[in-house]
Structure 1
Amino acid sequence: MAVDLRKIKKLIELVQESGIAELAITEGEESIRITRYSPHPASAQAGAISSTQSSVPLPKPTQSRNAMPVIEGFVQVSPMVGTFHAAKNLADAPLVCVGQRVSQGDILCIIEAMRMQNPIEAQRDGIIGAIWVKEGDEVAFDHPLFTIIESDIS
């Protein structure tokens, strides 16, 4: 993937000048998301990702000008409007956590819409690098849910 830094800088300037909180653009398999504020406070802790369930070292996020972490990888977005649930039942442990290896087709979360429980499957193999929503959050179409870091390590 060729990154055009001039284009990214222009998009960052656009976000800063317009006052919008977030901009997400997808072109084919490539996507970029620029946000002025952390969508999930736990993900911004000291600019580091903790790996609790994996011995695979995760890349450290880079710090932007506003001291927000930037985690490179595939951003899996919500395919629907609804309520985010990290587990099938409130008493259960979350289906995935940061640092966990997932395979394409694994269930990552549940989105409840019109009292229907809709399992959301991983679109890629990799490691969960960030979770951008928390239990009970309302999500819309294309709302970022997870960053999946693609890894060649088995």
Structure 2
Amino acid sequence: MKTSEIRDLIDFISKSGLNEVNIETKELKLQVKREPDQKVFKSTSVVAPVAAAPVATAAPVASAASAPAPASKAPAASSDSGKKTIEIKSPMIGTFYRSSGPDAAPFVSVGDKISKGQTVCIIEAMKLFNEIESEVSGTVVRVMVENSTPVEYDQVLFVVEPD
């Protein structure tokens, strides 16, 4: 891999919002990390050596996403009980998972009490598993996304009634 290709790859990674990328070929081993304070799980899938074409193909998808931010919250319409609710939204484009594995219990369900900083789901983006943490304490009123479905940036994932 040429130095210019490595620079382009690092530039692409910084714009895509990824936290960690590992690339290993016969000639090269490249590891790029940023924002070490965020929790990131590695995929167990085997990754084929990266060629120029897949990077170019992935660029339009990644450029559509903004850099991930902590799970955002926004006031929502009042619930039936007349209390205010808060929406936990997706900070990135990816695949939504309610649990850490197919046989594991969901991180949160309707009626569960959650606290600020508690993991509420995982979003997989480009083979990286990102834990999404709640920015608010309260009770989960609704789960807005089905397990293993794609989500968009800023899509509502959960509706929470704050404490």
Shorter-chain TM-score: which interval? 0.5 to 0.7
- The structure 1 residue matched to 2:107, chosen from 95, 112, 120, is 95
Kindly state the Cα deviation for residue 30 of structure 1 after the two structures are TM-superposed. 4.8
The residue number in structure 2 matching 1:130 is 142
Distance 2:155 2:99 in 1: 18
Flag structure 1 segments of 5+ consecutive residues without an equivalent: 1-28, 34-58, 63-69
Q: Is residue 71–residue 147 contact of structure 1 (8 Å, CA) maintained in 2?
A: no
TM-score by length of 2: 0.51
Tell whether 2:157 aligns with 1:145.
Answer: yes
Q: Structure 1 residues 79, 71: CA separation in 2 closer, same or farther (over 3 Å shift)?
A: farther
**Normalized against structure 1, the TM-score is what?**
0.54
Residue among 129, 137, 144 paired with 1:117: 129
Q: Displacement, 1:137?
A: 1.2
Counterpart Cα distance in 1 of 2:101 and 2:120: 13
Contact kept? 2:75, 2:85, Cα under 8 Å: no
Q: Distance in 2 between matches of 1:75 and 1:147?
A: 5
Moved over 4 A (4+): none
TM-aligned CA deviation for residue 31 of structure 1:
3.3
After TM superposition, list the pairs within 5 Å mapping 1:1-150 onto structure 2.
Answer: 30-32=74-76, 61-62=79-80, 72-150=84-162
Give the superposed CA RMSD. 2.4
> How many angstroms apart in 2 are the aligned matches of 1:141 and 1:92?
26
Shift of residue 72 of structure 1?
Answer: 4.2
Pick closer, same or farther for the CA change 1:122–1:111 going to 2, 3 Å: same
Aligned residues: 91
Percent identity over the alignment is 31
Give the Cα separation in 2 of the matches to 1:94 and 1:131. Answer: 11
Task: Flag the 1:150–1:31 CA change in 2: closer, same or farther, 3 A.
Answer: closer
Q: What runs of 5+ residues in structure 2 fail to find an aligned partner?
A: 1-72
